[in-house]
Structure 1
């Protein structure tokens, strides 16, 4: 059985990779980029640095900075209007997962029209939108190397998963120096997001030898360096390892898909505005414990790759060490429960059946080693409280 692998055409990885924007544009035959980012990237000067670098090569780029932390249909519509009002031939997506996810959606809708709902899964979007050069500034989502985007329909709080080659950036410039200014909370949330990507890709029913190699490498990089980056944001060695680990995890799950954690995470984020990485972190220990009986050897491999279990440990012991580590990680990185995050209890419990159905409709739980029923998902939500 063969495995199809989808990657950006160009990948530049390492310190200073983001400085290669002009050369990448030239190699792609593009000269009229629109920078899609958020206001923080403008305030920190990162968008201006890209503009200056382009100006040195007689290129100019306008900026659209009205993306939002969890992209919505309305925020995407504003970006599409901006694209259609200009004569841009490509998009530079600068920022964390939200600006990059926004750029993916804007690139498709800006070229082909329609509404975001027209492109949600199970439709597979293989048409090429405007070329996207992705420059991530967080070590977490891996969106720079994935064929996914997630957009929230604010009319019903549904997080719509959109899938296909059309959402894959044409180039990814992965520069860990852009993460050095990240605050500890974002470092923690995005880091656990990346770890979740790696674990879920490895235990996914769609895993392959290729995705396995990327996922295990990602775990080896992320696990020993997440705490270091969280405690000392200036630790360049840890930051570099986290950034590469995040990208490898993105490659892994883009080709093997995510599973139950992500399926359950999206409805929490949409209904209660919990950052995506944080809701993943809330779920990871409980979902892992639920899933281990269906993939004991696979989860034990994860524990060993993360360095929390020895090669000589039994499968059972390795899995217990994995669960202990996931709980300890949440404690050390101060991951809240839904209650301590500030979610209203009655609202959370009332929405559980709806969130369970939305999780199942996303398709991600179907990739889980143990495929849950709606009732089992509700029980897992209850455990989180």
Structure 2
């Protein structure tokens, strides 16, 4: 059995990588980029720095800075219209996963038209959008190296998974210095998102030797450094490890797919506007406990890669330590339960069936070592609510 591996054409990794944008655009034959970003990147001065770099190189650019933290089909329409009305030959995505996901969708819709729902899974979007150069500013989603985007249909509160080669950036500039100003809450949520990517890629039914290598190394980088980055935002070594780990985790799940945590996480985000990494963290311990019986050796490997179990530990001991570590991480990184986050119990429970349906429809639960029924997903939502 063969496995197709998809990567950006070019990745520039390390301190100052974002300063290579003009050179990378020229190497790709691009000279008229649209910068897709958000208001925070503007306020921090990151967008001005990019524009100054491009201007010095004689490259004219425009900006669309109205992306939202949880992008919707409506929130990207103005950006799509800019592409349709303009003469852009490329898109530069600057920010966390949301601006990058927005940029991916804008590049496809701007070139081919239609509505975002036309491109959702199970459609395989192979059509090339405008060439996309991704510059991540969080160590989390790995979107700079994935063939996926997530856009919410605000009319139905469904987070739509869209997949295909058309969403893969042609280049990624992975500059950990852009993460040094991240506050603890964003550091925790994005870091736990990256760790979830690595674990789910490794246990996925679509895993391969290639994705395994990326996932295991991601766990080795992420797990020992997440607490340090959370408590000491200026720790450059921890930030660098987190950034590389997040990208490797993105490569892993882009080529092996995510599983049940992500399938259940997207509806929580869509219905209750919980940040994606945070909803993953809420779910990860309970879903891992549910899944371990179907792949105990794989989960034990995760525990060893994360440094919480020794090579000499039994599979059972390693898995006990994995679950204990996931719970301890959530406590130390102050991950709230759904109720503590402010979700009303009645609304959460009345939404369980619909959320379970949407989770299954996304396809992600089918990659899980233990493939759940809809009833089991409903029970897992109840477990997550009650585990606080």
TM-score (normalised: structure 1)? 1.00
Deviations 1:83-135 (A, max 9, x none): 11211100000000000000000000000001101100000000100000000
The within-5 A match list for 1:262-341 is: 262-341=262-341
Separation of aligned partners in 2, 1:291 and 1:322 = 12
What 5-or-longer segments of structure 2 have no aligned partner?
Answer: none
2:349 corresponds in structure 1 to: 349
Q: Deviations over 1:317-360 (max 9, x none)?
A: 00000000000000000000000000011000000000000000
Name 2:62's counterpart in structure 1: 62
What is the match of residue 171 of structure 1? 171
Aligned equivalents of 2:55, 2:63: Cα separation in 1: 14
Aligned to 1:384: 384
Output aligned runs, 1:224-263, within 5 Å: 224-263=224-263
Q: How far has the Cα of 1:3 moved from its partner?
A: 1.3
C-alpha separation in 2, matches of 1:255 and 1:53? 33
**What is the distance in 2 between the residues matched to 1:354 and 1:274?**
17
Q: Does 1:127 align with 2:107?
A: no
Alignment of 1:10-49 (within 5 A): 10-49=10-49
Q: Please list the CA deviations of residues 31-82 of structure 1 after superposition, one character each: whole Å capped at 9, or x if unmatched.
A: 0001000000000000000001111111121110010001101012121011
Which residue matches 1:193?
193
Distance 2:146 2:176 in 1: 18
1:216 positional shift: 0.1
Q: Secondary structure at the residue paired with 2:194? A: helix
Q: Counterpart of 1:102?
A: 102
1:115 maps to 115
Q: Residues of 1 paired with 2:382 and 2:167: CA distance?
A: 34
List, as ranges, runs of 4+ consecutive aligned residues in structure 1 with deviation greater than 6 Å.
Answer: none
CA distance in 2, matches of 1:286, 1:360: 17
Where 2:3 maps in the other structure, the secondary structure is: coil
Let me know the Cα RMSD of the aligned residues: 0.4
Q: CA deviation at 1:291?
A: 0.1
Superposed, which structure 2 residues align to 1:135-150 within 5 Å?
Answer: 135-150=135-150
Q: Gaps (5+ residues) in structure 1?
A: none
SS at match of 1:109: helix
Aligned to 1:205: 205
Three-state SS of the structure 2 residue aligned to 1:206 is coil
Q: What per-residue deviation string (whole Å, max 9, x for no partner) do you get for residues 172-226 of structure 1?
A: 0000000000000000000000000000000000000000000000000000000
Question: Distance in 2 between the 1:57 and 1:43 partners?
Answer: 23
